[in-house]
Amino acid sequence: TDKRKRWVNTADAQPALTDYEVCATTAHQSLVKLTLHTGRTHQLRVHLAASDHPIIGDPLYDSQAESAPRLMLHAQLLDLQLPFSTTRVTVPAPLPSLFEKLHLIENY
């Protein structure tokens, strides 16, 4: 009933494509690399929640969101084209130390 939520496979759903790669796994969680091919609202959050693997700490799509201090989503690399230009900019960002507390990135 939350008007902010998006859904997959509904009459008004828009096409969206996300590729994923599982990088590390524990008994209850996984670190995944996601690649967007479209830019729909909440796309990553919706795709993972629809597959019964919501992003940890997601207050909208994860029923156990209080298990993390924040949404555990991080842009490790952004590749952007500057507005009104053909110039591309790549911005890397290492995973925050908070991800280490989940014991997923020790070998990543």
Answer with the residue of higher pLDDT: 104 or 52: 52
Domain assignment present for 12: no
pLDDT at 105 over 70: no
Q: What domain range is 56 assigned to?
A: 18-102
Domain assignment present for 1: no
Q: How many domains does the chain have?
A: 1
Q: Which pTM value belongs to this model?
A: 0.76
Domain assignment present for 31: yes
Domain assignment present for 9: no
pLDDT of residue 104: 58
Calculate what percentage of the chain has a pLDDT beyond 90: 40
Domain assignment present for 6: no
The amino acid present at 66, given as its one-letter code, is: E
Domain assignment present for 96: yes
pLDDT of residue 22: 92
* Mean residue pLDDT across the chain: 85
User: What CATH code is carried by the domain that includes residue 37?
Assistant: 3.30.2350.10
CA 19 – CA 9 distance, rounded (Å): 17
pLDDT of residue 106: 53
Domain assignment present for 22: yes
Domain assignment present for 108: no
Q: What is the pLDDT of residues 29-71, one digit of tens each?
A: 888 999 989 988 889 999 999 998 999 999 998 888 777 888 9
User: Please, which residues have CB within 8 angstroms of residue 101's CB and are 6 or more apart in sequence?
Assistant: none
Question: Phi-psi bin for 52: left (phi > 0), alpha (psi -120 to 50), beta?
Answer: left
- For residues 21-31, average pLDDT: 86
